[in-house]
Amino acid sequence: MPHSLPLITTLATAFGLALVLGVLAARLKLPALVGYLLAGIMLGPFTPGFVADAQLGHELAEIGVMLLMFGVGLHFSLDDLLAVRKIALPGAVLQIAVATALGAGIAAAWGWSLGGALVFGLALSVASTVVLLRTLEAHGILDSMNGRIAVGWLVVEDLAMVLVLVLLPPLAGALGGDAPDAGAGSLWGTLALTLLKVSAFIALMLVGGRRLFPKLLWLVAGTGSRELFTLCVVAAAVSIAYGAAELFGVSFALGAFFAGMVLRESEFSHRAAEESLPLREAFAVLFFVSVGMLFDPRVLVEQPLQVLAVISIIVVGKSIAAAALVLLLRYPLNTALIVSASLAQIGEFSFILAGLGVSLGLLPVEGQSLILAGALISIALNPVVFKASEPLQAWLRSRSKLARQLERPADPLAELPMSTHERYLSGQVVLVGYGRVGRRIARALAECDIPYVVAERNRELVERLRADGGAAVSGDAADPAVLIQAHIARASMLVVAIPDTLDARQMIATARTLNPTIETVLRTHNEEEAELLEREAAGKVFLGENELANGMTRHVLERYGKAR
């Protein structure tokens, strides 16, 4: 029997040690991913003992990134992406510029070259796809408006990094690196070619892929074979991601993301997400282990001040910049804190960019070590930072008048126009949330000629509703001022169509303070939360599973002539 089995050895040691340290971290009330990172450090070449195959670990982690982004695409439609373009596009671009300037400035102060400082700053500006998605999923807000904004923001960051990776080699000579300098014509030609490839890939997926891949999934599902269906899902995710990278120069993550988006057109998209979930979870663990394997702990002892500066830029500087940009774009404080906390870490693209910078002679080796240290520590801290965003928001609201003003900036969309008809100001339904559930409720109300006012965080949706003649206000309805602007004091009913139970309780408390007789309706996906809300007399509570069961039961009984 052969004794050289690097793949099996890597998998066995990575999964086994990650399990042990992950459980230990959980027992210590720490995020499990801290254990995964420590497992990688122990398996890496910079600590004594067994050394796993780092190259194999990196490739396996790439598969995890593909599957994870594919799963996100299955839940993130093109409409969702376009709905957040007005905040994600300018916000991501400006945040990259600010973070790059901070990183480049401190690197220049250390005496690095222009090229090294630029690469260092760019590496600190882009967040990790895996970390962000796992954090959003863990808090149950991946499908919320804040979650969509964060994911859309990250997609723009990834597209920007694709351009950076293509343009860096021809610019290396001018920036002080080893590569020959490229002329202006060659540079513009490279940029044009890159944009053309990315545009061609997106067009191909949105035009051809949206028609072909759902039909393929339907065809395979028709065989009745679960293993063939799972194989089709995994093959689509990995093959499209690989083809996108090889043929169009798009990253694996973006390729898999768009693959998931086009497969979402199939009615089997939810099943596809469920079938790929175990693989996504397993390979995501390998991603964190592979990050730990690249980390040299000596940098913490030899350059502690530099490491502290890097962490400050990632966790503090970049977060403040992102939050400020969100507020400047007239989104509420809640959105600003969620987005900034989501982006307060770095990951995959940072490693790729650091490796390319070293190979081109731009980034010193110590710069790569500092980037890895920043990634490791920021990833470990991110769950804590994210968890702290909610109490921080409550503290700011209660203690700071400025924070309350930032929560409700001077915004024409934050209040109903003076020309709003009287029927929307008294006896109306206040509908919080205009997502998939909210849109269906609004459609039914409109068909029955029942006036309603929508309270929605997404400014683009509010603009669209007003353009269509609807009554809507922009903002977080957990803020009493938003419900006041929706004239909750004279409304007949409050319908909360978002699944956030904590915010829903705040909304109900505000509504009943201003309108003690108002009827309230809300939704939840958690049976325990439903029982708690009913005990608190929060109003009529609809549990998703119950309503689905009731609807199916009613249909069956009606077919048998026993309708109740």
Please check whether residue 157 lies inside any domain of the structure: yes
Q: Where are the alpha helices (DSSP H) in 76-144?
A: 78-83, 85-109, 114-123, 129-138
Higher pLDDT, 181 or 210: 210
Q: Are residues 379 and 478 in the same domain?
A: no
**Does residue 451 sit in the same domain as residue 492?**
yes
Q: What mean pLDDT do residues 115-141 have?
A: 85
User: Span 170-186, mean pLDDT?
Assistant: 65
In a domain, 136, yes or no: yes
Structural domain span for residue 131:
55-398
Average pLDDT over residues 289-313: 87
CATH number (domain holding residue 432): 3.40.50.720
Claim to verify: residue 307 and residue 447 sit in the same structural domain: no
pLDDT for the residue 546 = 80
Q: Tell whether the model's pLDDT for residue 182 goes beyond 80.
A: no
411 confidence band (pLDDT: 50, 70, 90): low
Tell me, what's the pLDDT at 122? 93
CB atoms under 10 Å from CB of 1, counted, come to: 3
**What's the pLDDT at 451?**
93
* Rounded-to-integer distance, Cα 324 and Cα 329, Å: 9
Residue 48 falls inside a structural domain? no
Q: Could you report the per-residue pLDDT of 382-400, keeping only the tens digit for each?
A: 888 888 887 887 777 777 6
Single-letter code of the amino acid located at 422: E
Name residue 318's amino acid: K
Asked if residue 375 has pLDDT above 90, the reply is: no
| Residue range 79-83: mean pLDDT, rounded | 69
Residues 348 and 437 in one domain: no
361 plus 431 within the same structural domain: no
User: What is the predicted pLDDT for the residue at 98?
Assistant: 93
- Same domain, yes or no: 434 and 341: no
Look at residue 450 in the predicted model and tell me its pLDDT. 93
**Dihedral-angle region of residue 70 (phi above 0 means left; psi in -120 to 50 means alpha; beta otherwise):** alpha
Cα end-to-end span (Å), the chain: 68
Tell whether 308 and 439 lie within a shared domain: no
Instruction: Note whether 204 and 69 are same-domain residues.
Output: yes
C-alpha distances in Å from residue 216, one per residue of 38, 69, 169, 204, 223: 41, 20, 39, 16, 11
> Within 13 Å and on the Cβ side, how many CA atoms surround 3?
0
Same domain for 363 and 229:
yes
Q: Are residues 393 and 509 in the same domain?
A: no
pLDDT in tens, 479-515: 888 888 899 999 999 999 887 766 788 888 899 999 9
Global pTM reads 0.69
**What are the tens digits of pLDDT across the range 191-209?**
677 778 878 888 888 777 7
Helix or strand (DSSP H, E) at 473? strand 471-474
Enter the tokens of residue 202: 């997106």
User: 49 in a domain, yes or no?
Assistant: no
Question: Half-sphere exposure of residue 357, counting CA atoms within 13 Å on the CB side?
Answer: 29
Mean pLDDT of 87-94: 88
Residue 70: count other Cβ atoms within 10 Å of its Cβ. Answer: 30
pLDDT in the model for residue 400: 67
CATH number for the domain including 356?
Answer: 1.20.1530.20
Which of 57-71, 418-432, 522-536, 540-554 has the highest average model confidence (pLDDT)?
A: 418-432
User: Mean pLDDT lowest for which of 43-57, 62-76, 236-250?
Assistant: 62-76
Mean residue pLDDT across the chain: 81
Q: Which range among 163-167, 169-173, 340-344, 354-358 has the greatest average pLDDT?
A: 340-344
Three-state secondary structure of 229-275 = HHHHHHHHHHHHHHHHHHHHCCCHHHHHHHHHHHHCCCCCHHHHHHH
Residue 33 lies in a domain: no
Average pLDDT over residues 288-302: 83
Specify if 217 maps to a domain: yes
**Per-position DSSP letters for 205-225, written without gaps between them:** IIIIIHHHHHHHHHHHHTTT-
3-class secondary structure, 429: strand
**380 and 450 both lie in a single domain:** no
Number of domains in the chain: 2
Average pLDDT over residues 118-145: 82
With respect to residue 482, please indicate whether it lies within any of the assigned structural domains: yes
Query: Of 475, 478, 470, 289, whose CA–CA distance to 394 is shortest?
Result: 478
Structure tokens at 168: 């860096």
Q: Is 369 a domain residue?
A: yes
Q: How much of the chain, in percent, has pLDDT values that exceed 90?
A: 15
**Confidence class for position 171, pLDDT limits 50, 70, 90:** confident
pLDDT at position 557 over 80: yes
**pLDDT band with cut points at 50, 70 and 90 for residue 405:** low
Please answer whether residues 155 and 87 qualify as being in contact, where contact means their C-beta atoms are separated by less than 8 angstroms.
no
Band the pLDDT of 1: cuts 50, 70, 90: very low
Task: Tell me: do 336 and 426 sit in the same domain.
Answer: no
CA distance 141 to 303: 37
Q: Which of 320, 294, 356, 289 is nearest to 122 (CA)?
A: 356
Of 364, 398, 432, the last residue of a domain is 398
Residue 300's φ and ψ, nearest 5 degrees, are -70, -30
Residue 409 in this model has a pLDDT that exceeds 60 = no
Element (H, E) at 522: strand 519-524
- Residue 80 in this model has a pLDDT that exceeds 80: no
